[in-house]
Amino acid sequence: MTHSAPHLRLSADPHERVAERRRDEAWLAAAWAAPTTRVLVVAGTRIRPVDGRIDWVSPEQAPEGVRILLGQRDGITWFAVVADRALAGDDAAWVPLRFALPVLAGPAARDAPLVLHALGLAEWMAVTRHCPRCAGTLVPRAAGHELVCTDCGRPQFPRTDPAVIMLIADGEPGSPDERCLLGRQASWPEGRYSTLAGFCEPGETLEDAVRREVAEETGVRVGEVTWFGSQPWPLPASLMLGFHGRALSTEITVDRDELVDARWLTRAQLRDEVEHGGLVLPGGVSISHSLLEHWYGGRLPGGW
């Protein structure tokens, strides 16, 4: 793990998804019955970490619900069961993914790809209630990776929304005067800033999405756009696609819709404001934090 890519903690140990087994009912039954098989219980879209770890149970301990084949790792088959949200009741120990991220970034880092897989599908099922073609009833198949309409037979597959997230810089690269562009949303507490982000639109390249979003939110024009990396982010269904961009203009005009403020900061200004508490940056497992540290050239203190 390098300081420039802390977001990779959430995908550092991916599992084999064994997609070819999702329709093999005999294999699925045998895997479910195996004594080593482990199951993640999801109540609607919530999980229940226990003592700083992910609570995997045996198939016998799992409640009724939609069985999802996650895959295999270390000779073990991993499932999730998506049960009714009522299973959690009012128990505050059941939390959505955002509140489970500290656990997944720490002691349970190895489980992060499995949990992101499970909760991504759970979020998709939660919002895909009826067939979009005829409004018919949908039932799961392919071990939870497909929903099929009982009326028209049309299948539905999990959706992932591509979202660009970008560190825009101005000035000579690596110089003391080089600056990065950060913005703050209206809903955030005072002092919280992040890199800019937005969703890709139909018929648009990712690079043009970067340029459009930055121009819409801050008025800054962007030229060169270069690839950085990606991060699954099922909150509820995004894939964050990270980029670096070079500014062609520097005058800021915030849109007052998505952002209430945007600022240019040199590395020295960034470090000084973070150390003195005037600036709060994204958390260490977000790709936004990785983009910032890659540009800054080292670790940054603090985080949401």
- Looking at the fold, whether 132 and 142 belong to one and the same domain comes out as yes
In the chain, the amino acid numbered 53 is R
Q: Answer yes or no: is 1 within a domain.
A: no
Instruction: Tell me if 169 is assigned to some domain.
Output: yes
Q: SS3 for 72? A: strand
**Looking at the domain assignment, is residue 302 inside a domain?**
no
Q: Show which of 159, 181, 205 is a domain's final residue.
A: 159
CATH number at residue 238: 3.90.79.10
Verify that 107 and 208 share a domain, yes or no: no
Same domain, 36 and 66: yes
Shared-domain flag, residues 39 and 105:
yes
Structure tokens at 302: 């603090």
Within a domain: residue 190? Answer: yes
Quick one: 11 and 101 in the same domain? Answer: yes
**Among the three residues 73, 106, 126, which one is the final residue of a domain in this structure?**
126
**167 and 289 both lie in a single domain:** yes
Give me the number of domains the chain comprises.
Answer: 3
Residues 87, 200, single domain; the answer is: no
Q: Is the pTM of this model over 0.75?
A: yes
* pLDDT at residue 2, as a whole number: 40
Residues 138 and 62 in one domain: no
Same domain flag for 179 and 267: yes
**DSSP bridge pairs for 233:** 238
Q: Does 210 lie in the same domain as 281?
A: yes
Report d(CA 211, CA 166) in Å as an integer.
10
Q: Return d(Cα 97, Cα 100) in angstroms, integer.
A: 5
Residue 186 lies in a domain: yes
- Alpha carbon distances (Å) from 247 to 94, 168, 173, 254, 297: 43, 6, 11, 15, 19
- Using the structure block, give the residue that is written with the tokens 């540009």: 295
The answer to whether 176 and 188 are in contact (CB under 8 A) is: no
Return the structure tokens found at 291. 């983009």
Domain boundary among 104, 126, 148: 126
Residues 134 and 219 in one domain: no
Is residue 240 one of the residues assigned to a domain? yes
β-strands 76-83, 38-43 pairing = parallel
Q: Map residue 217 onto helix, strand or coil.
A: helix
Per-residue pLDDT tens listing for the chain (304 residues): 344 477 877 888 899 999 999 999 999 999 999 999 999 999 999 999 999 999 999 999 999 999 999 999 999 999 999 999 999 999 999 999 999 998 998 888 999 999 999 999 999 999 999 999 999 999 999 999 999 999 999 999 999 999 999 999 999 999 999 999 999 998 998 999 999 999 999 999 999 999 999 999 999 999 999 999 999 999 899 999 999 999 999 999 998 888 999 999 999 999 999 998 889 998 778 999 999 999 999 988 765 5
Instruction: Indicate whether 304 belongs to any domain.
Output: no
The domain of 98 spans 6-126
CA distances from 95 to 54, 110, 185 (A): 12, 19, 24
Do 155 and 165 reside in the same domain of the chain?
no
